[in-house]
Structure 1
Amino acid sequence: MKKSIVFLVCLFTMIGYSQEVKLIPQINVSGEGKIKIAPDQVTIVAAVETKGTNAKDVKKQNDQQMEAVIKLIKSMNLPAADYKTKRVSLNPQYDYEKKKHTYNASQTIEILLKDLSKYDELMEGLVNQGINRIDNVTFQSSKLAQYQSDARKLAMKDAKMKAEDYVSVLGQKVGLATVITDNSQSYYPQPVYGAMRNMEMKADSSAPRETMAVGEIEITANVSVSFKLE
């Protein structure tokens, strides 16, 4: 008897629930927004490496070369907040064939250059003052947040346009959005990697040099949207 009562209660509950649920006509679409912009600043990660048999002398030489690099940066009137030391190391290395130690000192500095017209001057000056390794060069935009917002708006417009295209042949209209899902991937500036060891850069005073092709940055936003149909 108890089992019969429980069954009837469950049955009436399911019937009541099924009467309450109403299917809402809707359409699910995706949208994409893309913006291409020219970068207006660049981050340079560069290092001074020195080697020798005496740790103290190796470190001293490394410090002197990095001091010259920092003086160069200051002479170009870069704000103090736009450059910083990233890594400092002094490591022993043992040559098993010659059975003796050598030492490798390294200092890495990161520079944010907001005036791209100074790029060639800065890069040439860095090498002349002792930089012998360029780890990467990353072109960026100072207005990234604004452009990401613009890309998201374009993605929403694209989604709504797609929905209107689909339902136009059905004699229906696109209503309110019920669910919005951001599918955008996090934006990471793509670095240009390179290595410069024991380089000598000679300036040609007779003609300006151009060693940089910055191209464009592409910012993309992706969204999924569910719209009610009217």
Structure 2
Amino acid sequence: MISTRIARPVRIVAVAAALAGAFAVSALAQDNGKENGKGRADAPRGRQAVIKVSGEGRATTAPDLAILQLSVVKDAKTAREALDANNKAMTEVLAALRQAGIADRDLQTSGFSINPQYHYPPSDDGGSRPPELVGYQVVNGVTVRVRDLSRLGEVIDSSVSLGVNQAGGIEFTNDKPDAVITEARKAAVADAIGKARVLAEAAGVSLGRLIELAEQEPRPEPPVPFARMAKEAAADQVPIATGESAYNVTVNVTFAIDQ
């Protein structure tokens, strides 16, 4: 009875040792296969050859919206006097703009400030003298969106006549540029594909599948210089040339190479 109880554990230990040895040999063979570039089907492969290019597209259209930056600037001895004068002039300007067909949604105050004005007297002894307060300046700015470009010269002329004495600029753009941006996108992708084909042909390889396509933010071109603009308003109004709006799109494309 004693010898039987001892023999069973001995046989179990022997079998476990044999299995452990078999597993060790199998693992070693797999490691050797990896080192030799053989073995499992999912062994690491070399880096895939690709072609990366950028494409640019440009599309133009006539603008249908003008954005004006207009300001009324008034100076007076006191802040109250300057503010009253500015309020009166700006009220007349806004009324004229509405009368010209500008909707309330296209009128937006873009800046307001009250600034003290100083005089810096010269000093006979070469030192510095304290500045003297001589008055106040009030600036009230408004952004105007003009959707009827045929009346743009009239709008500017009437605004200046009623008190606008400072202009921050004019921008021609489009209210809904989606269609023209789509044209620029198509042109950018076509440009990228053409470049990739030329590179593949020059390298003696075949262009493979599309791996990645990314677009940079579409951007309008800077305003066209005044000398290059063509259309002008009537002679009795402010001459206005609308030119054209241009939109540029850039895409980055990656293609696989079929060798």
Give the structure 1 partner of residue 248 of structure 2. Answer: 220
Per-residue Cα deviation, 1:147-183 (whole angstroms, up to 9, x for no partner)? 223212211111112223343577764332102233x
The alignment status of 1:187 with 2:215, answered yes or no, reads no
Residues 60 and 180 in structure 2, CA contact (< 8 A), matched pair in contact too: no
1:33 and 1:220 in contact (8 A); partners too: yes
2:32 and 2:182 mapped to 1: Cα distance? Answer: 51
The alignment status of 1:128 with 2:161, answered yes or no, reads yes
1:2-21 map, 5 Å? 15=37, 19-21=43-45
Greater RCO structure (CA 8 Å; 6+ sep): 1
Aligned to 2:82: 58
CA distance in 2, matches of 1:37, 1:60: 44
Q: Which runs of 5+ in 2 are unaligned?
A: 1-28, 122-130, 226-233
Give the number of equivalent residue pairs: 211
Within 5 Å, give how 1:25-36 maps onto structure 2.
Answer: 25-36=49-60
Secondary structure at 1:158's aligned position in 2? Answer: helix
**Which one of 191, 210, 231 corresponds to residue 158 of structure 1?**
191
Deviations 1:73-106 (A, max 9, x none): 1101211100111112222222243944311011
SS in 1 for 2:168: strand
Amino acid at match of 1:68: E
The structure with more radius of gyration:
2
Q: Which runs of 5+ in 1 are unaligned?
A: 1-7, 194-204
Alignment pair present for 1:42 and 2:75: no
Confirm or deny: 8 A CA contact 2:221 2:248 kept in the other structure.
Answer: no
- Structure 1 residues 99 and 175 mapped into 2: Cα distance closer, same or farther (>3 Å)? closer
Give the TM-score taking structure 1 as reference length: 0.78
SS at match of 2:219: coil
Q: CA deviation at 1:121?
A: 0.2
Distance 2:138 2:60 in 1: 41
Change (3 A) 1:180 1:192: closer
Distance 1:214 1:10, change over 3 A: farther
Between 1:209-218 and 1:82-91, the stretch displaced more is 209-218
The farther-off stretch of 141-150 and 166-175 is: 166-175
The 3 A distance-change label for structure 1 pair 55 and 209 is closer
Q: 1:134 & 1:158 partners in 2: Cα distance?
A: 40
Separation (CA, whole Å) in 1 of partners of 2:198 and 2:73? 61
Q: Summarize the Cα distance change of 1:43–1:10 in structure 2 as closer, same or farther, 3 Å threshold.
A: farther
For 1:59 and 1:229, how far apart are their aligned partners in 2? 70
Q: Deviations over 1:46-70 (max 9, x none)?
A: 1000101122111111000000001
> Normalised by the size of structure 2, how large is the TM-score?
0.70
Give the 3-state SS of the residue equivalent to 1:50 in structure 2. strand
Taking the aligned partners of 1:147 and 1:10, their CA distance within structure 2 comes to 59
Residue pairs, 1:95-106, within 5 angstroms: 95-97=119-121, 99-106=132-139
In 2: Cα distance, 1:114 partner to 1:19 partner: 64
User: 8 Å contact 2:63–2:172 — kept in the other structure?
Assistant: yes
